[in-house]
């Protein structure tokens, strides 16, 4: 692993968090990093709900069965897209844009010493409906994912998942 890329290789899904708040400045830094992501035709169809309220974080776990770590996290993002702003109003473009923004959050959080875990919402209708209801989202806003956020209470070793067999040089 190239040590210059350690901030990528050491980014791991964190499921155990310390009871320590994430500062407003760090939340802002993460959102600024998210919005530095590429976007098809610079449409920037993203919206981010910042969640810090303990009761709300706990309620999200009822909607996202794999989101139990939110009971320990001190913050979360709900990443949504505005389909009316997406390039050609295409869901695929919107999802690509949001995914780039999410990866920026995950990498920036790791660089700042924070832990994260990406929690899938889209395309599972029951999860989308649950998030839509909990946050009273407008109809044109599509919830894509959640991100658990906090100070990690676990250290997972860096790793690469590089596999030579999936690399094709010049042709299949």
Percent of the chain clearing pLDDT 90 (strictly above): 99
pTM assigned to the model = 0.97
Contact 77, 108 (CB under 8 A): no
- The confidence score (pLDDT) of residue 124 equals 98
Contact 86, 161 (CB under 8 A): no
- The confidence score (pLDDT) of residue 19 equals 97
Average pLDDT of the chain is 98
List Cα–Cα distances, 110 to 6, 14, 40, 139, 153, in angstroms: 10, 10, 26, 33, 13
Domains and CATH numbers, the chain: 13-154 (3.40.109.10)
Question: Does residue 1 carry a pLDDT above 90?
Answer: no
- The confidence score (pLDDT) of residue 69 equals 98
């Amino acid at each position: 692993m190239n040590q210059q890329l350690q901030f990528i290789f050491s980014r791991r899904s964190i499921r155990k968090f310390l009871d320590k708040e994430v500062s407003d400045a760090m939340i802002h830094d993460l959102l600024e990093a998210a919005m530095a992501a590429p976007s098809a035709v610079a449409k920037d169809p993203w919206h981010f709900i910042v969640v810090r309220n303990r009761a709300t974080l706990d309620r999200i776990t009822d909607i996202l069965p794999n989101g139990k770590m939110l009971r320990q996290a001190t913050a979360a993002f709900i990443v949504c897209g505005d389909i009316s702003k997406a390039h050609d109003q295409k869901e695929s473009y919107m999802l690509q844009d949001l995914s780039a923004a999410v990866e920026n959050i995950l990498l920036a959080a790791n660089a700042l010493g924070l832990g994260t875990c990406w929690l899938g919402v889209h395309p599972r209708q029951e999860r989308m409906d649950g998030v839509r209801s909990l946050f009273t989202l407008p109809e044109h806003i599509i919830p894509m994912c959640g991100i658990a956020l906090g100070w990690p209470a676990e250290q997972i070793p860096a790793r690469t998942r590089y596999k030579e067999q999936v690399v094709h040089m010049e042709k299949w």
